[in-house]
């Protein structure tokens, strides 16, 4: 059942929203107030256009039928078709997907992609599903959200718990139901069936590009920089590898099961191979460093901390103990507003999520363009164009921060909100 909402709070006055939803709106409201924009548009810019909740019955391997709950939230499409990932995780709920869709709107605007923001999710534990069960779930979920997705309407992509294989199933399901191959309906696909080279590592590469651009303003390089990465999934592992390949030292990594520290440096390629084989970092500390807790990793002695796991991991309890002087947000919403203030007061430079992790959606845009044209780019073209966009976005944020004497998050949101607000104002309301 889809719900078109002009004002979520007005439709549900008694509803208590999650902390993550509140955090996303706190960041938005702070900047919107500072910008002095027409208050008429505030609710429109902060409310989702559409929320679709679906039931996904799946026949499990043992013959039973399990019904999973899925969501697709479309936040704002004033700048173009909706775009955003699909997350498979036990923590997924409506508020989380609403907040992520809103963040996606401003992320897309910041790097000047012709997209609005969306996000999807299914409540499940992916590691407990067999490949057949995951395929059945993906195909059913795709069929349920099909009325609101499409290459010119809403283009999904991978997120936590999903990958290129998931996107391949989504592509095939959609294409079968419309009767023809439709490469532009989804990004993050395997290269062999219309995906883009460079998409798998794109978010991690974007983190590297932004970090390197920031260091350049300080006359520094990555060489010898000590980096801790919280979350060794797609984003964190590729960020670690790419940074290590350029001279940085990875001193700590973690996933949900284990965190490892090694002052001598962790071989990112070796750790990635271990996770690919075992699907976890558990046990990796043997011979490769000392096992620590995830919270200890956030507070470990390092130059750069990359939170690349889930939202709300850097909170007011942890923030005072963060030793890193730079925090580059590889995940969406990893820092709470209270922690954000503490880090700023302590002199920590924070490179915000809507800037630092925008590499994934940027290369998704490249993939979408290639699919629509059936003309594919080389790896060098993809990497070079990504670097140009990420460095341009950082330069704009850096210039805004200098001009307004503000932090990078405020600068990034100021630019993004202004672009979305302008598009909404120019288009007006229909009817």
Active-site amino acid positions: 119
What is the full DSSP assignment across 253-296? Answer: EE-SS-EEE-TT---HHHHHHHHHHHSS-TTTTTTT-EEE-HHH
Note the Cα 379 to chain centre separation in Å. Answer: 22
For residue 69, say if its preceding peptide bond is cis, omega within 30 degrees of 0: no
- Return the DSSP state at 335: B
Q: Which residues, 6+ apart, have CB-to-CB distance to 4 below 8 Å?
A: 49, 50
Q: Which residues, 6+ apart, have CB-to-CB distance to 253 below 8 Å?
A: 228, 229, 232, 236, 237, 240, 259, 260, 266, 268, 271, 281, 297
What is the full DSSP assignment across 401-419? Answer: HHHHT--HHHHHHHHHHHH
Q: Cα–Cα distance between 258 and 276 in angstroms, integer? A: 15
Q: Which residues, 6+ apart, have CB-to-CB distance to 10 below 8 Å?
A: none
CA-CA-CA-CA torsion sign (336, 90, 278, 286): positive
Structure tokens of 44?
Answer: 């429109």
CA-CA-CA-CA torsion sign (26, 32, 34, 40): negative
Query: Which helix or strand (DSSP H or E) is residue 4 part of?
Result: strand 2-4
Least Cα distance to 140 among 130, 132, 152, 150 occurs for 132
Q: Cα–Cα distance between 316 and 330 in angstroms, integer? A: 19
Structure tokens of 181?
Answer: 């191959």
Q: Cα–Cα distance between 264 and 379 in angstroms, integer? A: 32
Least Cα distance to 230 among 293, 276, 278 occurs for 293
């Amino acid at each position: 059942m889809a719900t078109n909402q002009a004002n979520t709070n007005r439709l549900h006055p008694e509803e208590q929203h999650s902390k993550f939803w509140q955090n996303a709106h706190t960041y938005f409201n702070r900047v919107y107030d500072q910008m002095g924009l027409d208050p008429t548009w505030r609710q429109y810019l902060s409310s989702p256009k559409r929320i679709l909740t679906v039931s996904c019955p799946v026949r499990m391997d043992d013959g039973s039928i399990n019904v999973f709950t899925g969501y697709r939230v479309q936040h704002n499409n004033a700048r173009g078709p909706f775009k955003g990932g699909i997350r498979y995780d036990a923590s997924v709920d409506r508020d989380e997907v609403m907040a992520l869709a809103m963040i996606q709107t401003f992320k897309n605007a910041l790097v000047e992609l012709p997209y609005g923001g969306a996000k999807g999710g299914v409540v499940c534990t992916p590691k407990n599903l067999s490949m057949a069960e995951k395929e059945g779930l993906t195909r059913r979920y795709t069929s349920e959200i099909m009325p609101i997705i499409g290459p010119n309407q809403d283009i999904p992509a991978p997120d936590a718990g999903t990958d290129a294989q998931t996107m391949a199933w989504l592509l095939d399901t959609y294409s079968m139901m419309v009767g023809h191959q439709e490469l532009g309906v989804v990004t993050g696909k395997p290269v062999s069936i219309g995906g883009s080279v460079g998409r798998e590592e794109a978010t991690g590469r974007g983190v590297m590009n932004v970090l390197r651009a920031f260091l350049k303003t300080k006359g520094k390089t990555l060489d010898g920089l000590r980096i801790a990465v919280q979350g060794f999934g797609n984003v964190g592992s590729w960020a670690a590898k790419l940074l290590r390949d350029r001279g940085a030292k990875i001193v700590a990594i973690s996933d949900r099961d284990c965190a490892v520290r090694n002052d001598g440096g962790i071989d990112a390629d070796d750790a990635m191979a271990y996770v690919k084989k075992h699907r976890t970092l558990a046990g990796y500390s043997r011979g490769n460093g000392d096992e620590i807790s995830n919270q200890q990793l956030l507070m470990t002695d390092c130059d750069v901390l990359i939170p690349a796991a889930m939202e709300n991991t850097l909170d007011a309890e942890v923030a005072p103990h963060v030793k890193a002087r730079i925090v580059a947000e590889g995940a969406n919403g990893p820092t709470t507003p209270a922690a954000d203030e503490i880090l700023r007061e302590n002199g920590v430079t924070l490179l915000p999520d809507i800037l630092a992790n925008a590499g994934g959606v940027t290369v998704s845009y490249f993939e979408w363009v290639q699919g629509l044209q059936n003309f594919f780019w080389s790896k060098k073209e993809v990497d070079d164009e990504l670097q140009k966009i990420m460095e341009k976005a950082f330069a704009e944020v850096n210039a805004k921060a200098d001009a307004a004497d503000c932090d990078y998050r405020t600068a990034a949101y100021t630019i993004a909100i202004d672009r979305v607000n302008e598009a909404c104002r120019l288009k007006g309301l229909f009817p």
